[in-house]
Amino acid sequence: MNALPLTIDGATGVPLTEQLVDQIETMIRSRRVLAGAKLPSIRQLAAEQRISRFPVIEAYDRLASRGLIQPKHGSGFYVANHVEEREGGSGNCNPRLAEEESNQILQQFNYPGETLKLSSGFVPEFWRDVDGLTQAIRQASRMDVSSVIDYAIPHGDTNLRQQVLMRLNALGIGADLPNVMLTTGASQALDLVVRYMLKPGDTVFVEDPGYYNLFGLLKLQGVRLVGVPRLANGPDIDVAEELLKQHKPKLFFINTVFQNPTATTVAPQIAFKLLQLATQHGFTLVEDDIYADFQAVPTQRLASLDQLDRVIYVGGLSKTLSSSLRIGYLAANRELVKHLVDVKVLTSLGGTRFAEAVAASLLERGTYRKYLERLRKRVRDSLSSAVQTLEEHGWDVFDEPSGGNFVWAKVPGIDDSNVLVDEALKLGVTLAPGSYYRPNGETSPWVRINSAYAGDKRAKRFFEHMSEKSLSLPS
């Protein structure tokens, strides 16, 4: 097929994938591109628009999922013979936004070919305590047969909640059982908060850069996101104070320890100031502490300073113990927990009783504690090595992380990380562009590196390649 008459502009701040999808979809629905027509190949379209193949692959996947185009093995992509009309509706959810955000999450799972997932958010399988898990699974199957077939109670397994209480108390958070509920991963905890506390049109503050799944949940609800820059010691308080003169947020979502993606930790003085602002301006802080278990010596938490007055505390075990078990938890004042449990029952009935029983067994027997000691050492070693490798190759590291398994890094002279995505793909490495971690998909030079994979020969070859490319740029 001849070139598509597209106008793709990387300077607009709109993700390239979204620009491609919007324009091609418009052409198909307006019949400017007819049914059965063959589209340019991924390589051809990327070359014509002078962009990487990565956004073209995403765009074609998305158009195919909407029934607009059809892939034919060995032949290419064709416009579908029958295109459904757009459905109207007055709902508050924007399906395109939801698809955009969910696609970013799916990139961790479904990359083209056998590539190294350098931006992955997961701990490698061989780092996990698989033997401990399988033993706990056998024990739960034998000792608690009901857990294999019955619903979980709405608040969650009492033994596991008791274990969570001990963990909270160790952080200085005074809580009792009625303050704690279990969730299907920390993501469900955030979802319950969003569903119950926000309505379409509300404003919230989020960190920039921050957690893209949270951004998707908020956009799905029709909530307005206002980004507050994340610095090495936490959210930029000066910017937050200026933004509070213009906006009245209901919630401020903060990733306290080893923040995703910068791996930074909120300093005590910043935590105090955030609580002061919350009191002065009447908003609630949602403290996402999902990486707490990577930290050997606890630092100050918002919830320990506030004691669950203006803070909702969210944690979980999925990042360390098992992504498959999907164990999260939430601590808040008793009245709010009661309401959130109601929402949980309405939307999912309850958690997974078997997963909760397995997790409780691992914590009660000390298996998880011993595993964490080994995991933290592996993380420290890989993190130190990754930072050293990046700096040796001339990369800039946002702030040398003290824990967690992420490094937020960029290549000097390259302002759009999509360039890195394109170059990485040529070397068998997949990266998520920095725009994924910004509230509204703004262009970013930064990328998230998972230190667990930074020692792979493909990663090292990529770091060296980008170093050479950076040196060849005009000064």
Predicted TM-score of the model (pTM): 0.77
Q: Is the pLDDT of residue 150 over 90?
A: no
* Cα–Cα nearest to 7, from 19, 21, 25, 15: 19
The mean pLDDT value of the chain amounts to 87
Tell me what pLDDT residue 471 has.
65
Phi, psi of 288 (to 5 degrees): -90, 105
Cα–Cα distance between 296 and 305 in angstroms, integer? 20
Ranges 2-11, 50-59, 164-173, 360-369: which has the least confidence: 2-11
Q: Is the pLDDT confidence value at 18 over 60?
A: yes
Question: According to the model, what pLDDT value does residue 111 have?
Answer: 42
Q: Is the pLDDT of residue 129 over 70?
A: yes
Tell me: the pLDDT tens digits for 239-269?
Answer: 999 999 999 999 999 999 999 999 999 999 9
Per-residue pLDDT of 86-121, as tens digits, reads 444 334 455 454 555 555 555 554 444 467 899 988
380-402 residue pLDDT tens: 999 999 999 999 999 999 998 88
pLDDT of residue 86: 46
How much is the pLDDT for 122? 86
Q: pLDDT tens digits for 38-47?
A: 999 988 998 8
- pLDDT (mean) for 272-287: 97
Cα distances (angstroms) measured from residue 295 to each of 97, 175, 259, 290: 34, 21, 12, 11
pLDDT of amino acid 306: 95
The answer on pLDDT for 11 being more than 60 is yes
pLDDT computed for residue 84 by the predictor: 54
pLDDT tens digits along 431-466: 999 999 999 889 999 999 999 999 999 999 999 999
- Enumerate domains of the chain plus CATH numbers: 16-88 (1.10.10.10), 112-126+370-471 (3.90.1150.10), 130-367 (3.40.640.10)
152 versus 374: the higher-pLDDT residue is: 374
